[in-house]
Every structure is written in structure tokens, then in C-alpha cells.
């Protein structure tokens, strides 16, 4: 019996969520006394593969076919199926990422396993905690049976890494053209050198209070100084001041960074729904009655155009001190 974890790679490097999912799977394996096996799909370096040992993985199965560098739903499902057979997996763990959300349901149906999506913590007495109602409540899920496919919500489980080294075996996956359900014709990088929003630990976000797109310079400077990713409220994306992929909230992306700084955003309930799981929320708004302050840990009542440059300067000083 074993727990199998899909450790995601991007551009040949293991992603942070690979270690997070592996550490979660390691906790699960410890609970049940099962072995922990990881599978990596596509190009990855030997050092990277062995480094999964840090998260408690003893054995890594590597399918190195470069056609797996990018996910398509059927090719990944086939590869994961081979890995699950090789590992004798009774539990499969994936990140609740764009990859995990796509593959987990397919593999669950294919192997007739029960799918437990988006969990936030290791199970207690067989129940898994999941955030629901866009962060406004928790649900405790009681899955049927013990053959499970579990996706772990990124940035929610805390984990520490050790110094283990995993052994690596290659995994043979026979792929033909018909194993790819679609063709990825082009990939556009939209992160502009920043950590993508769903993975960002620090986020600086701004809203309609900025008055116009030409004023985003001070937002980008603060984000740049902090090494943070920029985000925005929905109307700002809708009127085209900022790109759509920056829109956070109930109908945009839901994020849970360690720090969320909201500048000139009123804090409408639909906006909060996408950010209320952030560990620390800072609100900068000139209106002391702005609802966002009720959801904040720290606040400044003031004009963003005056306050934000001061913050940037203070961060610069802190870094140089």
C-alpha cells in the first residue's frame, strides 16, 4: 500500500506546490503507515528529483518524456495511471492547482477512487477540512472508502523540509498522439517576472481609488520593492486599467498570501471572498468607514498617493538596514 503524490514541475523545475503536496502526502503516509512515492512528469534535473526527499519522499518515479513538460488532461492522466499502478497507490495526492484540478477528477473516475477536492489540512478521524462559500465557512468532508484522490489547497498547509534525498527510478509511459486530448499551440507568459498570483506570498493590490491606470506606478514600485505580485479589484480589470488575470475576488482568482495589501479598494463582500484567507491584511483607504477595515489586521486612513511612496521608501530602508 502506498501514497502517491504528483510533484509538479514548470520549466524543468519543481514547483513550490510540489513540496507542499509531498509534505502533505508524507503526513498522510505517516498516519496510515503507508509508503510515500512521488511521480514527476516531464523534464527535470536529477538534483531536483532527489530533493523531494526533503519533503519525506523516499522514491521518485520520473517519466522524462518532454511531451509531458506541459499538461494536457489525457496524457497526464495516462502517466499518472502508470505511476499509480507501479506504486500500488491507494491514495493519490495532487495540488489543487490548474494541473491538479484537471487531472484529479479524471484519475479518480478512471481508478474508481473517491475524489476529495481542495482540502486545507491533514484528516482528523477520517474527515478532511475544506474551505467553502469562498472562504466564509469550513466544511468537514467524510469521504467514502479508503481509495482516495486528494487535492491540497495551495498555500494553506504549513510544512517544514528536512534534508532527505530520494532515490529516482524512471517510469515508462507509452504515449501516442491520441493520448493528447488537445494541442497547446502557444504559451504566453503573463507573470512579468513576478510570482504568479495563486502562488504569491506577498500581494499588493489596488482598486478604483487609484483614479486611473496611469497612477499604477506607485503600486508597482511598492510591489517591486517587496518582491510582491500585483493584483486588482474587479471594476479595475473590467474597465481595462489592469489585465484580467490580476482580478481577485469571488469571480476572479481566490488567493491566500501571507500578506495582502489593499490600496484604494472599498472591501466589497465579493472582493473579500477572494482574499479573506490571507494571513495578514493591510488596508490603505482615505475613507475611515471603508468596509475593508473590518477585515484588516493593519490599516492606514490616508491618501494612497501620499502613503504608498512612504511605504516603498520604508521597505527600501528596511532592506538596506
Partner 1 sequence: MKILVCISKVPDTTAKISFTDNNTKFNEDKVQFIINPYDEWYALVRALELKEGAGGTVTIVNAGPADNEQIIRKGLALGADDAIRIDMQANDAFQVAAEIAAVAKEGSYDLILCGKETIDYNGGVFGGLLAEMLSMPYVSLASKLDLQENSLLLEREIEGEKEVIEVAMPCVVSAQKGMAEARIPNMRGILASKSKPVAVITPSGTTARVPVASFSLPPEKGACKMVDADQAEELIRLLHEEAKVI
Among residues 58, 159, 208, 245, which is the contact residue for partner 1, using CB under 8 A? Answer: 245
Which of the listed partners (ligand FAD, partner 1, none) does 305 bind, with a CB threshold of 5 to 8 Å by partner kind? ligand FAD
**Closest-CA residue to 49 (of 102, 23, 13):** 13
Contact 298, 280 (CB under 8 A): yes
103/166 with CB nearer partner 1 = 103
Single out the segment in contact with partner 1 by CB under 8 A; choices: 22-30, 45-53, 78-86, 266-274.
266-274
Question: d(Cα 252, Cα 100) in Å, to the nearest integer?
Answer: 19
Residue with cell 511531451: 67
CB neighbour burial string for 6-43, b if at least 16 within 10 angstroms, e if fewer = bbbbbeeebbebbbbbbbbbbbbbeeeebbbbbbbbbb
Nearest-approach distance from CB 101 to ligand FAD, in angstroms: 18
DSSP for 226-242, please give it: HTPEEEE-HHHHHTTSS
Among residues 185, 214, 289, 320, which is the contact residue for partner 1, using CB under 8 A? Answer: 185
Single out the segment in contact with ligand FAD by CB under 6 A; choices: 35-43, 71-79, 192-200, 259-267.
259-267
Does residue number 274 form part of the binding site for ligand FAD (CB under 6 A)? yes
Question: d(Cα 208, Cα 217) in Å, to the nearest integer?
Answer: 15
Among residues 252, 260, 278, 282, which is the contact residue for ligand FAD, using CB under 6 A? Answer: 252
**Closest-CA residue to 24 (of 90, 91, 73, 84):** 91
Does residue number 202 form part of the binding site for partner 1 (CB under 8 A)? yes
Nearest-approach distance from CB 17 to ligand FAD, in angstroms: 23
Backbone angles phi, psi at 170, to 5 degrees: -90, 145
Does residue number 268 form part of the binding site for ligand FAD (CB under 6 A)? yes
Among residues 18, 61, 80, 283, which is the contact residue for partner 1, using CB under 8 A? Answer: 283
Range 86-145, binding partner 1 (CB under 8 A): 96-98, 101-106, 108-110, 114-118, 127, 130-145
Does residue number 303 form part of the binding site for ligand FAD (CB under 6 A)? yes
Amino acid at each position: 500500500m502506498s501514497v502517491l503524490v504528483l510533484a509538479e514541475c514548470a520549466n524543468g523545475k519543481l514547483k513550490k506546490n510540489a513540496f507542499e503536496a509531498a509534505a502533505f502526502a508524507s503526513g498522510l503516509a505517516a498516519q496510515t503507515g503507508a509508503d510515500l512515492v512521488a511521480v514527476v512528469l516531464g523534464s527535470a534535473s536529477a538534483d531536483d528529483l532527489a530533493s523531494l526527499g526533503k519533503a519525506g519522499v523516499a522514491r521518485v518515479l520520473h517519466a522524462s518524456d518532454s511531451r509531458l513538460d506541459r499538461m494536457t488532461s489525457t496524457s497526464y492522466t495516462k502517466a499518472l495511471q502508470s505511476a499509480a499502478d507501479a506504486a500500488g497507490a491507494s491514495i493519490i495526492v495532487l495540488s489543487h492547482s490548474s494541473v491538479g484540478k484537471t487531472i484529479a477528477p479524471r484519475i479518480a473516475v478512471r481508478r474508481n477512487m473517491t475524489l476529495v477536492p481542495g482540502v486545507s489540512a491533514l484528516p482528523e478521524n477520517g474527515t478532511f477540512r475544506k474551505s467553502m462559500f469562498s472562504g466564509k465557512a469550513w466544511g468537514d468532508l467524510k469521504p467514502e472508502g479508503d481509495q482516495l484522490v486528494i487535492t491540497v489547497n495551495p498555500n494553506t498547509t504549513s510544512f517544514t523540509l528536512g534534508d532527505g534525498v530520494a532515490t529516482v527510478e524512471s517510469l515508462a509511459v507509452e504515449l501516442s498522439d491520441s493520448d493528447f486530448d488537445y494541442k497547446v499551440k502557444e504559451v504566453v507568459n503573463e507573470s512579468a517576472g513576478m510570482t504568479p498570483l495563486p502562488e504569491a506570498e506577498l500581494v499588493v493590490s489596488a482598486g478604483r481609488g487609484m483614479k486611473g491606470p496611469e497612477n499604477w506606478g506607485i503600486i508597482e514600485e511598492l510591489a517591486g520593492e517587496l518582491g510582491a505580485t500585483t493584483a486588482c479589484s474587479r471594476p479595475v480589470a473590467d474597465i481595462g486599467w489592469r489585465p484580467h488575470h490580476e482580478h481577485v475576488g469571488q469571480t476572479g482568482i481566490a488567493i491566500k498570501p501571507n500578506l495582502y495589501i489593499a490600496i484604494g479598494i472599498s472591501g466589497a463582500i465579493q472582493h473579500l471572498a477572494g482574499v479573506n484567507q490571507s494571513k495578514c491584511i493591510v488596508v490603505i483607504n482615505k475613507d475611515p468607514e471603508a468596509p475593508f477595515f473590518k477585515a484588516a489586521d493593519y490599516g492606514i486612513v490616508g491618501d494612497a498617493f501620499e502613503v504608498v511612496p512612504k511605504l516603498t521608501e520604508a521597505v527600501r530602508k528596511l532592506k538596506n538596514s
